[in-house]
Amino acid sequence: MKKIVTVLGARPQFIKAAVLSRIINKYSEIEEVIVHTGQHFDINMSQVFFDEMEIPAPKYNLNIHSLQHGAMTGQMLAKIEAILMNEKPDAVVVYGDTNSTLSGALAAKKLPVKVVHIEAGLRSFNMKMPEEINRIITDRLSDLLLCPTDSAIANLNAEGFHNFPAKVVKTGDIMKDAVTFYSEKSAEKSTIMKNLVLESDNFVLATIHRQENTDHLENLNSIFKGLESISKEMKVVFPIHPRTRQILEKYQYNFNITMINPVGYFDMLELLKHCKLVITDSGGLQKEAYFNQKFCIIAREETEWVELVENGLAKIVGSDSQNIVEAFNFFKQRTFNSATELYGNNVGEQIYAEIKSLLYS
């Protein structure tokens, strides 16, 4: 039996991996060993996802977190390399654009072990973003690049990937499968709407965690001023990322919005289903909003998910409080209507087939 090592470290990766792990277990043709780097270590950002989504327990938990990029990536690289030398997999599977993604790809390629990159080809064209650096290098190291969109394919073509010994495939976005599969379970198991006394279509769901916002106080303050203005008309529910909480506490910021601890996937799905719209700087949440037919206000200067903006389903507003409020006023009167399927269907099965082909060819 062929073996893969899957490297995970952050909330969106746990969600995507749950889909693929379930398919791998169904066919029993590939052994999967899961490595959790610990990049997201808070129990509400990590363990709850493994519990709820029935992801196989990680064989290895590296517990590496809360470090600068160099130290974090370096420690991950060394420990993943040791694991790969012990496990001797046929391929390493990485997701997205985190330090865990880059470390897994680097460790594998230098042994050498084949690299599969799920969510390949995305670009923000902002080299100040650590995620942009991670995804560019990971793509270049990968043997199999599984792309969610046509624009991702176009990005790789523009970078000359047709000249490289790698296979590039458009599969769609595996997050779509997760939302479809877990939606019914979240309705049964989540009590967050009742616990927070929320009414459908009568609150805004917001998250802010990216370094470009949390590490620049002017940006962070402006975003929260915008959220506070909106909260005078409609409740704003804000599951707060540990990094964002640290900054707010350090500078004693106190904003009049409903802040709650990070939530599990089922609770987040229910908040997405019932909110009026989403305000976020998260890449994953932009798509999850779309999958739940909610407009999204993007608190960044760019997005990798350009289809959402091009189809009028999202607006890029940066950190400007006035832009945030104006986008809210624009979307709140509109009905979500997307006749075009942007991110595919049955994506996990397509990804599994491509990985199996790589391993057994």
Q: Which of 209, 216, 241, 274 is catalytic?
A: 209
Query: Could you tell me which residues come within 8 angstroms of residue 165 by beta carbon, excluding any fewer than 6 positions away?
Result: 143
The CA distance from 347 to 333, in Å, is 33
Q: Please state whether 96 falls in left (phi above 0), alpha (psi between -120 and 50) or beta.
A: left
Q: Is 36 a catalytic residue?
A: no
Supply angle C-alpha 217, 221, 223, rounded to 5: 120
Instruction: Classify residue 4 by burial, with Cβ atoms within 10 Å: 0-12, 13-18, 19+.
Output: buried
Phi, psi dihedral angles at 299 (to 5 degrees): -85, 60
Report the distance separating Cα 202 and Cα 286, nearest Å: 19
Q: CA quadruple 329, 220, 239, 241: dihedral positive or negative?
A: positive
Q: At what angle do helices 11-27 and 175-189 cross, to 10 degrees?
A: 100
Cα→Cα distances 221→130, 299, 303, Å: 22, 12, 21
Tokens 């609770």 belong to residue: 267
* Residue 43 token pair: 């129990």
32 and 6 in contact (C-beta within 8 Å)?
yes
User: Residues with Cβ < 8 Å from 334, sequence gap 6 or more?
Assistant: 295
For helices 130-141 and 99-109, the axis angle rounded to 10 degrees is 30
Reading the block at residue 259, the tokens are 């802040």
Residue 284 identity (one-letter amino acid): G
Catalytic residues: 209
